[in-house]
């Protein structure tokens, strides 16, 4: 790839370049993406004419090229943006330095013909974290950071997960979520869980999907945080639980008892009306409570006094409680032996790296042993290949879930999976 592509490309071309960079990198190195937007390009065009504003973009590309490392790539995409792929990223601080360097470096005006043009640049950046190997996600994150910077009137912002929820609500997602439920745009997908020892299906995790007519597929990572902020999470969750229990009943009638795991945000757990709802629903759908698992993220344990009481109340309904994304949060060993839970779910960021990195392998091993010592079961999520499944079984992990077995599937396809899958 050329070090600097100064002609305008579309974002599909840019995504392909990004994909190449992700593929080429060594497994241990992170990659950074900077999206730099010339915010006043339209203004410059109208004041100085396209004939002078467009050469400015070429000059900026050259300047950017001179400022970044030899390994890195600058690509112009869209009308007024540059994407800068930073390879061999050591840490996020490195991105902050790079962004500041760029902002300083382009401060002075550029003389083009007889005019002096000054670019106003704004930057959003992201570091590819463990699980984001997907060029689309990385670009979306950098663009999100850029939008957030615009909203806050900052020159530069690094991507943070919270930005998405702020932005999406700022752009009217709240109304659309309201419509989504009414119009049947929300559905539940099911990702199989199998026993590690014999690879037989034991149930599925229910994962929410939103197919929005105007936005297309909206990932749950985007709309769940918005719904959590607006309070709409309650009606979404009630909808999800009802669908999951009804569909679980369906599979269990045909394949024998299978469990269903439902995600519940810490905010809803703390509110405390979940146990009553579950008690009502499990009768309605005739699903035994022990076939229902409630997954809450480890963050729910941050205020143990309140959350432990709520989780205990949930377990009194007979449902199982699983601590999701375990290992990424803040739980403390000091109260480990009193966590009212039945299962720990090891976060996929550890599982996906356990074969390449001894550090991650020992985290996984430690979590499994710790859980068993305290009488908890363990599910590993993010199992993408057979070798990982075998390694987890050898470590005595109880259940496995991941793309190796299946991606999350719509109800009908999950049933097909159950009837064709061979352990
Ligand atoms: P989570 O609960 O940690 O769910 C696991 C996520 O990992 C799912 O993403 C799943 O598709 C993905 N995954 C599963 N196996 C693999 C694998 O082998 N490799 C990789 N790379 N990924 C894998 P999804 O469905 O996009 O959900 C994202 C998050 O959104 C969930 O994370 C959960 O926190 C939230 N979420 C989804 N549905 C619901 C819901 O109904 N209610 C609530 N409160 N949260 C939900
Ligand atoms: Ca989960
Ligand atoms: Ca997880």
Ligand 1 close to Cβ of residue 219 (< 6 A): yes
Work out the end-to-end distance of the chain between its first and last CA atoms, rounded to an integer number of angstroms: 44
Query: Number of folded domains in the chain?
Result: 2
CA Rg value for the chain:
25
Measure 112 CA to ligand 3 centroid, in angstroms: 52
Ligand 1 close to Cβ of residue 220 (< 6 A): yes
Q: Determine the residue of 22, 137, 207 to mutate for testing ligand 1's pocket, defined as the one with the most ligand atoms within 8 A of the Cβ atom.
A: 207
Q: Are residues 97 and 184 in the same domain?
A: no
Q: What is the pLDDT of residue 131?
A: 47
Of 115, 140, 169, the residue at which a domain comes to its end is 169
Of 169, 190, 223, the residue at which a domain comes to its end is 169
Residue 210 dihedral angles phi and psi, to the nearest 5°: -125, 120
Q: Are residues 278 and 260 in the same domain?
A: yes
Q: Are residues 110 and 181 in the same domain?
A: no
DSSP string, 279-310: HHHHHHHT--GGGEEEEEEGGGGSSHHHHHHH
Q: Are residues 260 and 179 in the same domain?
A: yes
Q: Are residues 65 and 135 in the same domain?
A: yes
* Torsion angle, alpha carbons of 242, 245, 247, 250, to 10: -140
Q: Which domain holds residue 322?
A: 172-420
For position 156, which CATH number holds? 3.30.70.270
Residue 272 dihedral angles phi and psi, to the nearest 5°: 90, 5
Q: Are residues 84 and 108 in the same domain?
A: yes
Ligand 1 close to Cβ of residue 316 (< 6 A): no
Distance of CA 344 to the CA centre of its chain: 19
Q: Are residues 311 and 191 in the same domain?
A: yes
Instruction: Flag residues of the chain having pLDDT under 70.
Output: 1-8, 26-28, 129-132, 165-171, 329-334
Q: What is the pLDDT of residue 1?
A: 41
**Where would I find the beta strands (DSSP E) of 196-280?**
201-212, 216-218, 259-263
Ligand 1 close to Cβ of residue 225 (< 6 A): no
Ligand 1 close to Cβ of residue 208 (< 6 A): yes
Q: What is the pLDDT of residue 330?
A: 62
The pLDDT tens digits for 221-247 are: 888 877 887 789 999 999 999 999 999
For position 290, which CATH number holds? 3.20.20.450
Residues whose CB falls within 8 Å of the CB of residue 129, separated by 6 or more in sequence, listed in order: 30, 349
Q: Are residues 201 and 138 in the same domain?
A: no
Strand partners, 112: 115
Of 169, 190, 216, the residue at which a domain comes to its end is 169
Q: CA-CA distance, 354 to 391, in Å (whole number)?
A: 9
Q: Are residues 86 and 184 in the same domain?
A: no
Contact predicate 104/34, CB 8 Å = no
Residue owning the nearest CA to atom 44 of ligand 1: 264
Residue owning the nearest CA to atom 32 of ligand 1: 221
Point out the ligand 1 atom lying closest to the alpha carbon of residue 131: 21
Q: What is the pLDDT of residue 28?
A: 65
The pLDDT tens digits for 43-92 are: 888 888 888 888 899 999 999 998 888 888 899 888 899 999 988 887 88
> Half-sphere exposure of residue 167, counting CA atoms within 13 Å on the CB side?
19
Q: Are residues 120 and 194 in the same domain?
A: no
The pLDDT tens digits for 114-153 are: 888 889 999 999 987 654 678 888 898 998 899 888 877 7
Q: Are residues 26 and 161 in the same domain?
A: yes
Q: Which helix (H) or strand (E) holds 111?
A: strand 110-112
Q: Are residues 178 and 138 in the same domain?
A: no
Q: What is the pLDDT of residue 168?
A: 63
Q: CA-CA distance, 124 to 154, in Å (whole number)?
A: 10
Helix-then-strand count for the chain, H and E: 16, 18
């Amino acid at each position: 790839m050329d070090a600097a592509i100064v002609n305008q490309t579309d974002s599909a071309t840019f995504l392909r370049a990004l994909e190449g960079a992700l593929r080429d990198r060594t497994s241990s190195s992170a990659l950074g993406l900077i999206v730099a937007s010339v915010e006043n390009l339209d203004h410059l065009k109208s004041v100085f004419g396209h004939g002078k504003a467009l050469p400015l973009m070429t000059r900026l590309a050259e300047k950017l090229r001179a400022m970044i490392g030899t390994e890195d790539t600058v690509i112009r995409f869209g009308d007024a943006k540059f994407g800068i792929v930073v390879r061999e990223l050591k840490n996020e601080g490195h991105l902050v330095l790079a962004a500041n360097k760029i902002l300083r470096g382009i401060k002075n005006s550029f003389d083009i013909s007889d005019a002096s043009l000054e670019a106003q640049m704004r930057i959003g950046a992201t570091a590819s974290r463990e699980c984001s190997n997907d060029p689309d996600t990385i670009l979306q994150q950098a663009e999100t950071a850029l939008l957030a910077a615009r909203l806050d009137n900052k020159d530069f912002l690094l991507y943070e997960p919270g930005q998405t929820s702020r932005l999406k609500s700022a752009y009217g997602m709240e109304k659309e979520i309201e419509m989504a439920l009414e119009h049947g745009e929300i559905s539940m997908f099911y990702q199989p869980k199998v026993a590690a020892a014999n690879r037989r299906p034991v149930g599925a995790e229910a994962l929410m999907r939103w197919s929005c007519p105007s936005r297309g597929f909206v990932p749950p990572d985007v709309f769940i945080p918005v719904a959590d902020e607006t309070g709409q999470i309650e009606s979404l969750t009630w909808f999800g639980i009802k669908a999951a229990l009804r569909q679980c009943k369906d599979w269990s009638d045909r394949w024998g008892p299978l469990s269903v795991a439902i995600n519940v945000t810490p905010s809803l757990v703390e509110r405390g009306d979940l146990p009553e709802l579950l008690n009502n629903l499990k009768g309605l759908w005739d699903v035994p409570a022990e076939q229902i698992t409630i997954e809450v993220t480890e963050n729910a344990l941050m205020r143990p006094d309140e959350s432990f009481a709520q989780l205990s109340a949930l377990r009194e309904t007979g449902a199982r409680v699983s601590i999701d994304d375990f290992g990424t949060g803040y739980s403390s060993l000091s109260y480990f032996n009193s966590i009212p839970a039945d299962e720990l779910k090891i976060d996929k960021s550890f599982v996906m790296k356990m074969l390449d990195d001894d550090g991650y392998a020992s985290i996984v091993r430690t979590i499994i042993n710790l859980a068993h010592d305290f009488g908890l079961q363990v599910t590993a999520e993010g199992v993408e290949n057979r070798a990982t499944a075998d390694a987890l079984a050898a470590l005595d992990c109880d259940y496995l879930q991941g793309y190796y077995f299946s991606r999350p599937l719509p109800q009908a396809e999950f049933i097909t999976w159950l009837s064709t899958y061979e352990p």
